[in-house]
Structure 1
């Protein structure tokens, strides 16, 4: 990387950090789009306690743990919309180039697990409330999907899932 390219990357990171400081509970995708970078660049600018990265090679192991959490919120956020589904994470199996998820949950489909480069454990405020999610990032630095710790009727995080999130994050800390 040339010196000018390195300086440009540092300048963009400085702008992202300014954006995060100005609106610490805002939508990360909005920052990524405004700065013309993949969402992973924004995740990498969060404080270490707010975003911990693990290797995408841990996909199956992390997914397997998530199947025991109960009802979560599964989110796919694109430029064209935010799609949410509440349900349990179903088990999956490899076949025909996909990680195929199936079961009694409304969450189902076929994932290109081989494109998962990193998995982030994100713990940050979102519109004034604590929000915890596991975000699967692809080779291009975009988020494939997110799995959020569920909420109770009063909008508080489900305590049992929060414990699972924190335990899973601690287990994979530093395994990037």
Structure 2
């Protein structure tokens, strides 16, 4: 076995072990424990739990998400987990950025060209179903995530869940 194959096998083994230890934990924490990327953890989730769309689908997926109403928008780095609740504004491209501005607390500029893929994640998180859309970069980390919100009873909002499931299924392998 060559060194690269062995390294890939070692990384996968570490990822599987870390995921088995905390299957409903924070993906970034699981990845950190295994010394792999979040994308490598998403790749080993059970079939259907992580459905990947091509980077070319960024704009159509974003447009769909603007119709979901208030979502939970999360940016998770080593230094901060920033959560913002609001509707996603329509975006427009200009000066190398995907610009989002509107009547929402969510706004700014996204380096769309850094998006390597979009992953629909449907998995247990701390014992409850969690559904989210991860815009992934080439380094294997989430640029940002958009989550289906929960109601006052901590249940996923049915209308958003249906929209998530429709998108998830649109990109699921046949």
- Which category describes the TM-score, using the shorter chain as reference length? over 0.9
Q: Residue 164 of structure 1: SS of its match in structure 2?
A: helix
Is contact 1:17-1:46 (8 Å) kept? no
Q: Deviations over 1:86-111 (max 9, x none)?
A: 00111100000000001101000000
- The answer for unaligned runs of 5 or more in structure 2 is none
Pairs aligned (count): 174
Alignment of 1:88-103 (within 5 A): 88-103=87-102
Does structure 1 residue 62 correspond to structure 2 residue 61?
yes
Does structure 1 residue 129 correspond to structure 2 residue 135?
no
Is contact 1:54-1:174 (8 Å) kept? no
Does structure 1 residue 42 correspond to structure 2 residue 41?
yes
Further displaced range: 8-17 or 162-171: 8-17
1: CA distance, partners of 2:40 / 2:72:
24
Give the structure 1 partner of residue 14 of structure 2. 15
1: CA distance, partners of 2:30 / 2:11:
11
Under a length normalisation based on structure 2, what TM-score does the superposition of the two structures give?
Answer: 0.96
- The answer for unaligned runs of 5 or more in structure 1 is none
Give the structure 2 partner of residue 109 of structure 1. 108
Moved over 3 A (4+): none
Q: Residue 131 of structure 1: SS of its match in structure 2?
A: strand
Does structure 1 residue 150 correspond to structure 2 residue 149?
yes
Give the structure 2 partner of residue 166 of structure 1. 165
Is contact 2:18-2:31 (8 Å) kept? no
2: CA distance, partners of 1:118 / 1:3:
29
